[in-house]
């Protein structure tokens, strides 16, 4: 009887081409999320000559920019944005389109598009998720992107 193979990804970002798409809308928050992602990539030994950051106006533009990065052979992409609920249904539509869009890019190109897009009810929640601690959603997305990209690389080497 053979043993079950268990494969995990590493947090070594030194060989990865990583794209980041960051929205300018709610810039105070998205800049803090981007800072968190960069801190995490530094901790993963990412080569910043292999990191590309695209800045877009808002969350709705994130999917098309991630698709463009995916077309350009990125190993992983980090999507960063912040949608705060207002008094209309606009929040629901923007959030759903942005999240569905990055999921579609990930599936189509078979690369991780890690979600650092906050969908929150108020500014306090956004600030809580974009602080300098380990709860920063940008940092978490960066770690997820690196680990998943390395997992997919391991799959192609180890069993495919």
Q: Cβ(90)–Cβ(59) under 8 Å? A: no
d(CA 158, CA 105): 25
Candidates 90, 92, 100, 122; catalytic one: 90
Catalytic site residue 93? no
Q: Residue 23: left if φ>0, alpha if ψ -120 to 50, beta else—which one?
A: beta
Which residue from 97, 20, 104 is spatially nearest to 61, judged by alpha carbons? Answer: 97
Which residues does the annotation mark as catalytic? Answer: 90
């Amino acid at each position: 009887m053979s043993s079950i193979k268990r494969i995990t990804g590493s947090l070594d970002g030194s060989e990865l081409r990583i794209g980041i798409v960051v929205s300018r809308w709610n810039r105070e928050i998205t800049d803090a999320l981007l800072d968190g992602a960069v801190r995490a990539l530094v901790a993963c030994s990412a080569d910043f000559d292999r990191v590309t950051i695209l800045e877009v106006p808002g969350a709705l533009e994130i999917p098309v920019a991630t698709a463009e990065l995916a077309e350009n052979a990125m190993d992983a992409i980090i999507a960063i944005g912040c949608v705060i609920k207002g008094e209309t249904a606009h929040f629901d539509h923007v959030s759903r389109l942005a999240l569905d869009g990055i999921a579609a890019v990930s599936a189509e190109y078979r690369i991780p598009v890690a979600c650092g897009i906050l969908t929150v009810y108020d500014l306090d929640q956004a600030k809580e998720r974009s602080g300098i601690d380990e709860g920063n959603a940008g940092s978490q997305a960066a770690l997820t992107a690196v680990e998943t990209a390395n997992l997919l690389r391991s799959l192609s080497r180890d069993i495919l």
